[in-house]
Amino acid sequence: MSAPLTPRGLARTRFEGVESSWPERLAERAESLGLAPSEVHMAAELAALATTDDATARHALAIAALAASAALAEGSTRVAVEGDDDRLPQLFAAAVAADPALADTLATVADVLRMPEAAPVVGAPGDDRPLIFDPPFVQIHRVRVGEDRLIARLAARFDASASDAPSSNPTDDALTDEQRAAVDAALRWPLALITGGPGTGKTTVVAAILAAWRAAGCERIALAAPTGKAAKRLAESLGGAHPDIVPQTVHRLLGTSRDGDRVRHGEHDPLPHDVVIVDEASMVDLFTMERLLAAVAPEARLVLLGDADQLPSVDAGAVFRDLIARGGDRVVRLRKSFRMAGDDPAGRTILEAARAINDGDTDPPFARRAAVEALAFEGAEACFGDVSLDAFLDVWERRAIDVGLRDRVARGRVALDDGRTTDADARALLASYARARVLAVTRTDVDRINRALHRRGVARVGGSGAFSLSAGDPVMMTHNDYRRDLFNGDQGVLAWADVDGDARLVALFDDGDAARAVPFTAIRHALVLAYAQTVHKSQGSEFDVAALWLPDRDLPLMTREILYTALTRSRRSAIVLGDARRFATGIARRLARTSRLA
């Protein structure tokens, strides 16, 4: 439970002489919403600005601020506080159960937002107030401004007419009709939107777009992706066909400052490119998309590619999904999957199960196994019921990862040559970890699985287990390190290296024909174990084998989108483990994000 809330500054003077218990009760409400103490204090400060001494009214005003913050944390840009879509009872359900009197306060929120006494805090669209009330919705002012700007910039591109495709546009007979349509849209529209599931050839389309524009004499082209991992994978997929066009993160393209508050390129200093192509666009949030639209010159072309059925951005909005729904002729859907080809039985069953989940089928076609020992590690399988994590990890270590190889690397030393190694075991271990991953919905389950596999490895090689990371462990970067050319999501393995006769712990990252070694101490703060990862973190990744560990209770976080995303990470074997009813409930639940863009 949070520490009692003590109002400060103006809030303290406003609360003197009125009911003193509601600020503490407010802290309890915020904890149930997963909000930080700072957001509780901000809500209290805002409520104190109202020119009323009515404690109930201030309480209602603070609840409106908390609700707007809670909606934003869930990815929505606004929240309804009255009418058929009123979300307050749902958001505060746990709090009302503990304090039934709160229901009466919730019922007054919309009326309080309309009170003249709330004017210092609440304004109408276009006003400069901390909260904007556009009935039945309330939202934070900076979010409203961001949406306004994005909508205006999108409208300008949607209003612009298509132009003729370059006459020199080469025709690639290897492209499908869908892919040709995607290339044509990218050449003709000021904003082109291309969506497709895993393996539908989006990277092939990017390569064809690049070839077409270059054949037309266009050289000023930028490639970008939301994360360093996605940008690096895009570069690898293109295979060096255009060495002068290096994919980069959207933030680096825009020249974003380290604190994220400023960008170099914007409306008054646009990007010097005629064509900007962004891959994995479903991961781009509202604020980043607004900055991107501002930075792309009005006469330049913008191409957004992604999978609209996957999880949207971690932060506010579901911009790509909303645009795909409303994009009309600018939208091209790629439906033919090459990764899960129809002539591949294992891939076909995964594709069929993924499509069933995406269609809302709560009983998708999985091969059901009575126990984890019966898993075949082929196609779409499910082991439902009370699954033992230890029993599953026994099978996982035998079938999915090479623990013998892991232990040899943990016991040995790699030789370095100019900071690189060609050690066969270390490179084979990197490849082994890249092929298989346990996925989970929650960070808690990821940590639990990672710790369990780490302890197993340490025990086998006779380690002390005193450290959270050890030689042989797979690791993942959690921050971008531009100086070392490492990015959030990059994955490596820890190993001992021979440095002037001494053993030094290093992190090895695949670097083409060798593995690059980075001193462990230099990047320790940015590394976490990577035997398992959240489904969110897995976006854009591809594995031969992916197992999804379901949470032990129903969570709003478990939605159709997160299950679809998890399943489509795998090419050959996709396994679901846990409670069948919770799995069906998750499939039936859509990830709902409310925004003006939609």
Q: What mean pLDDT comes out for the span 159-164?
A: 82
Q: Which residue has the higher pLDDT, 330 or 98?
A: 330
Q: What mean pLDDT comes out for the span 15-38?
A: 60
Please tell me the predicted confidence (pLDDT) of residue 30: 66
CA distance 513 to 427: 9
CA distance 540 to 459: 33
Please tell me the predicted confidence (pLDDT) of residue 556: 82
Lowest mean pLDDT among 38-42, 84-88, 397-401, 549-553: 38-42
Please tell me the predicted confidence (pLDDT) of residue 521: 92
Q: Tokens at residue 4, please?
A: 């009692």
Q: What is the pLDDT of residues 46-74, one digit of tens each?
A: 888 999 888 889 889 999 999 999 888 88
- Return the beta strands (E) in 213-334 as ranges: 221-225, 248-249, 275-278, 301-306, 331-334
Q: How far is CA 57 from CA 97, 139, 297, 567, in A?
A: 21, 18, 47, 47
Please tell me the predicted confidence (pLDDT) of residue 125: 93
Q: Kindly report the average pLDDT of the chain as a whole number.
A: 87
Whether residue 29 has pLDDT greater than 50: yes
Q: What is the pLDDT of residues 271-299, one digit of tens each?
A: 999 999 999 999 899 999 999 999 999 99
Please tell me the predicted confidence (pLDDT) of residue 227: 83
Name the residue among 554, 545, 551, 538 with its Cα closest to residue 577: 551
Number of other residues whose CB lies within 10 A of the CB of residue 528:
17
The confidence band for 27, taking pLDDT boundaries of 50, 70 and 90, is low
Q: What percent of the chain has pLDDT over 70?
A: 90
Q: For the packed helices 37-48 and 22-32, what is the interaxial angle rounded to 10 degrees?
A: 140
Q: What is the 3-state secondary structure of 414-456?
A: EECECCEECCHHHHHHHHHHHHEEEEECCHHHHHHHHHHHHHH
Lowest mean pLDDT among 7-11, 28-32, 454-458: 7-11
The most confident of the ranges 200-209, 342-351, 546-555 is 546-555
Q: Return phi, psi of residue 553, to 5°.
A: -150, 160
Q: Taking the chain, what is the end-to-end CA distance rounded to the nearest angstrom?
A: 36
Q: What is the pLDDT of residues 430-447, one digit of tens each?
A: 999 999 999 999 999 999
Strand partners, 131: 122, 140
Q: Which residue has the higher pLDDT, 40 or 596?
A: 596
Q: What mean pLDDT comes out for the span 142-160?
A: 92
Radius of gyration of the chain measured on its C-alpha atoms: 26
* DSSP-assigned states of every residue in 11-67: HHHHHTTS-SSHHHHHHHHHHHTT--HHHHHHHHHHHHTSS---HHHHHHHHHHHHH
**Bond into 136 cis (ω within 30):** yes
Lowest mean pLDDT among 7-16, 157-166, 244-253, 476-485: 7-16
Whether residue 267 has pLDDT greater than 70: yes
Which amino acid, residue 490? D
Q: What mean pLDDT comes out for the span 104-116?
A: 93
Note whether 130 and 157 are within 8 A (CB): no
CA distance 194 to 301: 14
Lowest mean pLDDT among 172-176, 398-402, 421-425: 172-176
Q: What percent of the chain has pLDDT over 90?
A: 52
Pairing of strands 527-529, 474-477: antiparallel
Q: What is the pLDDT of residues 118-150, one digit of tens each?
A: 999 999 999 999 999 999 999 999 999 999 999
User: Which DSSP symbol is given to 256?
Assistant: B
Please tell me the predicted confidence (pLDDT) of residue 12: 46
CA distance 271 to 255: 10
Could you identify the residue written with the tokens 């639940």?
589
Q: Tokens at residue 36, please?
A: 């930080």
Strand partners, 332: 194
Whether residue 14 has pLDDT greater than 50: no
Name the residue among 2, 104, 82, 97 with its Cα closest to residue 44: 2
CA distance 6 to 106: 22
Helix, strand, or coil here: 505? strand
Q: What is the pLDDT of residues 38-51, one digit of tens each?
A: 788 888 888 889 99
